Chains A and B, each alone.
Chain A
Amino acid sequence: MDANKRKELQKLACKVRMGVIEGTYNAKSGHPGGSLSISDTLTYLYFDKMNVDAKNPENEDRDRFVLSKGHTAPALYSVLALKGYFPEEEIKSLRHIGALLQGHPCIHIPGVDMSSGSLGQGISAACGMALAGKLNNKSYKVYTVLGDGEIEEGQVWEASMFAAHYKLDNLVAVVDNNGLQIDGPVTEVCSPEPITDKFAAFGWHVITMDAHDFDDIERAFSEASNVTGKPVVIVQKSTKGKGVSFMENQVGWHGTAPNKEQYEQAMAELTAQLKELED
């Protein structure tokens, strides 16, 4: 990847993370950990990979995105605000009464392609979108991001069978393998591992990726674009809470908002990271 492009994406991802902290702090609730672990992937998808236009969010030829792990909506909203789907100020009223930005993604929010958040359901909707693309002779791709805890839901595997059976090669699912879910490490709660082997057995093309390395992210999604005849899953190795030192790899930051002191520290860290990239 070109050095300038890499730096631009890194800067954008840093701003996305600031939005995650801003939103959850003002909401006094929400899910920063898993939002931070997918921030780089969403930044890459929306600012480089996907064919989307904030000025024409309903364009029927656009690529689709479904955040199956809907609790990490702060990351999606942060990206959509930076893309210009709605004013960045909206982030501050996330989860408030009367706010545009609901606790979990809602289809009525500009740029959101599907309501999601009840785990396991987004991937099925993504399958439906991919099937519609085939039926309508459209060349768009459908991207969906799932949590590694989320794939404990049986519906995910129903959808996985369906996607492979109907050869939905226009579908790319990302499993955010940050290793932590609410009750603890995924391997201790009720292990979904080995994740790659499971998807391979279900007939998917499997790619692994470092979720915080834009060169590797580009490599993985480029490979995904060239697969034919089967759906693609990218199992991304990620760090929950990535970018905020005290949130990294801490299960407690799954669904806890930062207090004022933590907010200030997190923003100071992210501001410093951004400054370093801008120098």
Chain B
Amino acid sequence: MADVIKKATRESYGEALRDLADEYKDLVVLDADLAAATKTGIFKKAHPERFFDCGIAEANMMGVAAGLATCGKIPFASTFAMFAAGRAFEIVRNSIGYPHLNVKIGATHAGISVGEDGATHQCNEDIALMRTIPGMTIINPCDDVEAKAAVRAALDFNGPVYMRFGRLAVPVINDAATYKFELGKGVVLRDGKDVTIAATGLMVNEALQAAETLAAEGISARVVNIHTIKPLDKELICKCAKETGLIVTAEEHSVIGGLGSAVAEAVTECCPIKVVKIGVNDEFGHSGPAVDLLKEFGLSAENIVKTVKTNLNK
């Protein structure tokens, strides 16, 4: 794996905005003094007249985005997940969600892979928060190719979309030439019959590695990439529940309210099987290098392998 290309999805976000600007004339970008970090600076450099810095004022930024959307603009309101989903939650709910406006929220630095900045900036709650807003679409892409495709899909969709991007460079696992993004559709990356590993974001790559290890030990694991957490591909999840039984979910997010919860909620209605959630276990993160934190919090292929084996009694 030495020659694997790595790239942070926040970088993909900035590049996609830049590259799609000519095609989508109403696209405008807002940021809250984090353009260098969210990578909207890439867009700003190419299209300065369509970039608006709101300063460190996320609540107002979301409201401005809402107002722009009522006049036909397609604003991408960009900041860290902590401030987009956390600080500005009520504005996102009331000024964007309730009127169902065509605002795209680009939330970067999601999860504990923020790293050294520590707990105040490691948002493990955003998916849970955004899931509760009626009509909100949530996309959590796993790599550069998917992130760029997600930005285009968000532009082509009329309604509020929350997009979750990471700070850490992650392996590019999709092939840009053949990749197709379908909003609301899970992707079966590897078939298997003993267990389904449903993963999202940077955990998709870990899930694929885990499946390799498990195969070597005679366990057939299906790997499903859930890039759209809302609306969830319930049809696929229920099909997996029926066909493999056990589902292990893997996400860089709290085990409360995220992908794991969404999957568990779905299977209780269609095929109540055991769902085991891998995520951040109801605790705050702390400072440290991102890769070390991911290991420490069990967000790794090793932990997926261990969890699958434990729950299959193997």
Contact = CB atoms under 8 A, between A and B. Distances in A.
A155 B57 CA distance: 8
A124 B62 contact: yes
Contacts of B67: 66, 114, 124-132
B71 A132 contact: yes
A114 B99 contact: yes
Nearest to B94: A118
Contacts of B68: 128-129, 131-132
Interface residues of B, number: 28
Interface in A108-146: 108, 113-115, 117-118, 120-133, 135-136
A127 B63 contact: yes
B98 interface: yes
A161 B54 CA distance: 9
A114 B72 CA distance: 13
B86 to A, nearest CB: 15
A136 B55 contact: no
Interface in B73-106: 73, 75, 90-91, 94-95, 98-99
A107 interface: yes
A223 interface: no
A155 B59 contact: yes
Contacts of B57: 155, 158, 161-162
B297 interface: no
A69 to B, nearest CB: 14
B28 A125 contact: no
B65 interface: yes
A57 interface: no
Contacts of A64: 70
A155 B71 contact: no
A162 B60 contact: yes
Interface string B1-32: 00000000000000000000000000010000
A128 B70 contact: yes
A162 B54 contact: yes
Chain B at the A interface: SS class:
helix
A114 B66 contact: yes
A135 B55 CA distance: 19
Contacts of B59: 120-121, 124, 154-155, 158
Contacts of A117: 94
Interface string A79-112: 0000000000000000000000000001110000
B188 interface: no
Contacts of B181: none
B69 interface: yes
Given A124-B64, A125-B64, A162-B54, A113 B70 contact: yes
Given A131-B64, A162-B60, A115 B98 contact: yes
B95 A127 contact: no
Contact of B60 (A114, A129, A158): A158
A124 B60 contact: yes
Contact of A128 (B50, B55, B64): B64
B231 to A, nearest CB: 22
A60 B63 contact: no
Contact of A133 (B61, B66, B71): B71
Contacts of A124: 59-64, 66-67, 91, 95
A95 to B, nearest CB: 17
A128 B69 contact: yes
Contact of B72 (A121, A123, A132, A166): A132
A266 interface: no
B71 A129 contact: yes
Contacts of A122: 63
Given A131-B64, A158-B57, A162-B60, A107 B70 contact: yes
- With a 10 A CB-CB cut-off, give which of A123, A130, A155 has the most chain B CB atoms: A155
Contacts of B63: 121-125, 127-128, 155, 159
B91 A135 contact: no
Nearest to A136: B71
B91 A162 contact: no
B81 to A, nearest CB: 20
Contacts of A135: 28, 50, 73
A205 B60 CA distance: 20
Nearest to A133: B71
A140 B125 CA distance: 40
A107 B99 contact: yes
A38 B153 CA distance: 43
B54 A125 contact: no
A118 B55 contact: no
B51 to A, nearest CB: 12
Contacts of A154: 59
Nearest to B28: A135
A118 B90 contact: yes
Interface of A: 60, 64, 66, 106-108, 113-115, 117-118, 120-133, 135-136, 154-155, 158-159, 161-162, 165-166
| A-B complex: 3 closest residue pairs judged by Cβ atoms | A128-B67, A124-B63, A132-B71
23 contacts: A60-B71, A107-B70, A114-B70, A114-B99, A115-B95, A115-B98, A121-B95, A124-B59, A124-B62, A125-B63, A128-B63, A128-B67, A129-B71, A132-B70, A135-B50, A136-B71, A154-B59, A155-B63, A155-B91, A158-B54, A158-B59, A161-B57, A162-B55
Interface of B: 28, 50, 52, 54-55, 57, 59-73, 75, 90-91, 94-95, 98-99
Given A121-B91, A127-B64, A136-B71, 16 more contacts: A108-B99, A113-B70, A114-B70, A118-B90, A120-B59, A127-B60, A128-B66, A128-B71, A129-B70, A129-B71, A132-B67, A132-B72, A133-B71, A158-B55, A158-B59, A161-B60
